[in-house]
Amino acid sequence: MAIIKPFSALRPQPELSDKVASRPYDVLNSEEARAEANGNPHSFLHITKAEIDLPTDIDIHSQAVYDKAKENLEQFLKHGIVFNENKPCYYIYQLVMNGRSQTGLVCVSSVGDYFNDVIKKHEFTRPEKEKDRIEHMKTIQAQTGNVFLAYNNVHEVDEIIYNWKNVHQPVYDFKADDGIKHTLWTIDDDKIIEDISRLFKEKVPATYIADGHHRAASAAKVSKALPASEAAKYFLTTIFPASELAIMDYNRLVKDLNDMDADDFIGALHDDFMITHSAEPVKPSQLHEFGMYLDKQWYILVSREGTYSTDPIGVLDVTILSNNVLDKLLDIKDQRTDKRIDFVGGIRGLKELEKRVNSGEMRVAFSLYPVTIQQLFDIADSGNVMPPKSTWFEPKLRDGLLTHSLA
């Protein structure tokens, strides 16, 4: 069963919350982070991507960058930009994007649960990405990256969160420059805190990593590197009930047709798909339906029965596309390393696919129906992993609002 705890967050002064809050470190490159933090000395990017305060030719994985992050965090504390909560609390984090809201519980989750597979995974991680955050955490003695978890709804927890939101004033409430509204409440009542901890221990057999596999893996390894730290035995998470979550599509672009012309390629697709022209951009409306954009024409592709497996991995549309198109016809064997393929999150829209194909940069684009939450749970429960770039979650949690100190 899931073990979670309240924690004493390191968090910004309320009047500075919108200035401190920054997009997650791993959705921005260094150049983008410099631009985003320009003119804002309070941006948490000065801590999560401290290379922005060093020469542009700096090795972003050098110790100098991690030392600068530590220095910047110390300055934030010294000047009262952020402060330590005076007692362990739970926090409620609500995000609203395009009129749709989702509300999660911010806590620290047990590293033991990560190792024992109570916290379930569905992606492989890359050692070099883990190493970056391991060194960052060890140097600054804090976890800045929030791991996005999901779980099957527990009515009693839903009720506690609903009631708390409706009775108490939030500590932060602002709309970010991307239009997403962020609202946070502090749960500081000892009885409510005890009830939440108990309910997770009694009624939540598993939580699932939705977004943040590298952050979770890094935190788990830091716990082994800091065996004397009780705080390091837990890591920063926000846990959302499944009913509140939506996964967006994660689409594909390919640079060439593997020496085929368009007619031969479409002809080969007929073996596994029923194909029709579309006068409009194709956003698939159901599983096993795909959009394809080629030579300024959209097509609807529907998988033929019997051309895919029905096991938890084989039934995924990303697997069907991988097996029947990318591998079979386009000779793309490893999507993680092949330079001929690129991925575009659904938040960028179908126009982004058209733009990159029309420019000549890419030859063909495929739009996919998003993976469902239940599919993600089923795959994680089976012990399997999804193909790369299978899920895209929006909105994303902001860094800097709640940080877990390891000191």
For residue range 139-164, what is the model confidence (pLDDT) as tens digits?
A: 999 999 999 999 999 999 999 999 99
Q: What number is the average pLDDT over the span 267-278?
A: 97
Confidence (pLDDT) at 122: 84
156 with 254, same domain: the answer is no
For residue 364, which of 301, 271, 279, 287 has the smallest C-alpha distance? 301
239 with 260, same domain: the answer is no
Is residue 376 assigned to a domain?
no
Confidence (pLDDT) at 384: 83
Confidence (pLDDT) at 206: 96
For residue 402, which of 168, 108, 178 has the smallest C-alpha distance? 108
Whether 22 and 48 have beta carbons less than 8 Å apart is answered as yes
The mean of the pLDDT values for the chain is 94
Task: Say if residue 229's pLDDT is above 80.
Answer: yes
Confidence (pLDDT) at 60: 94
For residue 21, which of 13, 9, 29 has the smallest C-alpha distance? 13
What element of type H or E holds 268?
Answer: helix 262-269
Confidence tier at 26 by pLDDT (50, 70, 90): confident
Distance of alpha carbon 341 from alpha carbon 333, whole angstroms: 11
Instruction: Retrieve residue 57's tokens.
Output: 């030719």
Task: Say if residue 124's pLDDT is above 90.
Answer: no
Is residue 380 assigned to a domain?
no
Distance of alpha carbon 378 from alpha carbon 360, whole angstroms: 39
Distance of alpha carbon 236 from alpha carbon 220, whole angstroms: 11
Question: Which SS3 state, helix, strand or coil, does residue 103 take?
Answer: strand
Distance of alpha carbon 151 from alpha carbon 205, whole angstroms: 9
191 with 62, same domain: the answer is yes
Confidence (pLDDT) at 126: 78
69 with 188, same domain: the answer is yes
User: 114 or 375: whose pLDDT is higher?
Assistant: 114
Is residue 379 assigned to a domain?
no
Is residue 306 assigned to a domain?
yes
310 with 294, same domain: the answer is yes
Q: What number is the average pLDDT over the span 87-95?
A: 98
Q: Which of 57-66, 120-129, 327-336, 340-349 has the highest mean pLDDT?
A: 57-66
225 with 261, same domain: the answer is no
**pTM, entire model:** 0.85
186 with 82, same domain: the answer is yes
How many residues in total does the chain contain?
Answer: 407
How far apart, in Å, are the Cα atoms of 295 and each of 54, 244, 276, 355, 356?
45, 38, 15, 12, 12
Q: What is the dihedral of CA 31, 34, 36, 39, to 10 degrees?
A: -150
Is residue 34 assigned to a domain?
yes
What is the domain count for the chain? 2
Is the torsion defined by CA of 114, 120, 125, 129 positive or negative? negative
What element of type H or E holds 167?
Answer: helix 155-167
The total of other beta-carbon atoms located within 10 Å of residue 264's CB is 13
Q: Round to the nearest angstrom and report the end-to-end CA distance of the chain.
A: 27
149 with 227, same domain: the answer is yes
226 with 287, same domain: the answer is no
Percent pLDDT > 70 in the chain is: 100
225 with 317, same domain: the answer is no
Is residue 387 assigned to a domain?
no
133 with 265, same domain: the answer is no
Is residue 120 assigned to a domain?
yes
Confidence tier at 386 by pLDDT (50, 70, 90): confident
For residue 197, which of 377, 9, 10, 1 has the smallest C-alpha distance? 1
Parent domain of 300? 250-369
Residue 2: what are its φ and ψ, rounded to 5°? -75, 130
Q: What number is the average pLDDT over the span 68-74?
A: 98
Confidence tier at 282 by pLDDT (50, 70, 90): very high
Q: What number is the average pLDDT over the span 332-357?
A: 89
Cross-strand partners of 366: 252, 292
Distance of alpha carbon 330 from alpha carbon 253, whole angstroms: 12
Confidence (pLDDT) at 67: 97
Confidence (pLDDT) at 249: 87
> What CATH number is given to the structural domain containing 343?
3.30.1760
CA triple 20-35-60, angle to 5 deg:
85
Confidence (pLDDT) at 246: 82
Asked if omega into 127 is within 30° of 0 (cis), the reply is no
26 with 85, same domain: the answer is yes
